[in-house]
Structure 1
Amino acid sequence: MQLEIRPDPAEVGRARRWARSRLAGSGIEADEPLAETLILLVSELVTNAVVHTGCPAVLRLSLPDEADESATVRLEVADTSCTAPVPRCADGDETGGRGLALVDGLADRWGWSAEGAGKRIWCELDRGSQPRDAAAAFGGGVTAYGGFEGFAYEAV
Structure 2
Amino acid sequence: MQVLQVQLEIRPDPAEVGRARRWARSRLAGSGIGDDESLAETLILLVSELVTNAVVHTGCPAVLRLSLPLVEAESATVRLEVADRSDRAPVPRCVDGDQTGGRGLALVDGLADRWGWSPEGAGKRIWCELDRCSGSEGGATTYGNGASAYEGLAFEAV
Structure-2-length-normalised TM-score: 0.83
Q: TM-score, normalised by structure 1?
A: 0.84
CA deviations on 1:129-149 (whole Å, 9 max, x unpaired) are 61426565xxxxxxxxxxxxx
Match of 1:73?
A: 78
Q: Does 1:126 align with 2:131?
A: yes
Q: Which residue of 1 aligns with 2:111?
A: 106
What is the alpha-carbon root mean square deviation over aligned residues? 1.5
Give matches, 1:4-153, under 5 Å: 4-128=9-133, 130-131=142-143, 132=147
Q: Which amino acid aligns with 1:53?
A: T
Q: State the 1:71 CA deviation.
A: 1.2
What is the aligned partner in structure 2 of residue 148 from structure 1?
none
Larger Rg: 2
CA distance in 1 between counterparts of 2:88 and 2:72 reads 39
* Structure 1 or 2: more strand by fraction: 2
Amino acid at match of 1:12: V
Aligned pair count reads 137
Matched, 1:2 2:7: yes
- Mark the runs of 5 or more structure 2 residues left unpaired by the alignment: 1-5, 135-141, 149-153
Specify the code of the residue in structure 2 equivalent to 1:43: S
Identity of aligned residues (%): 85
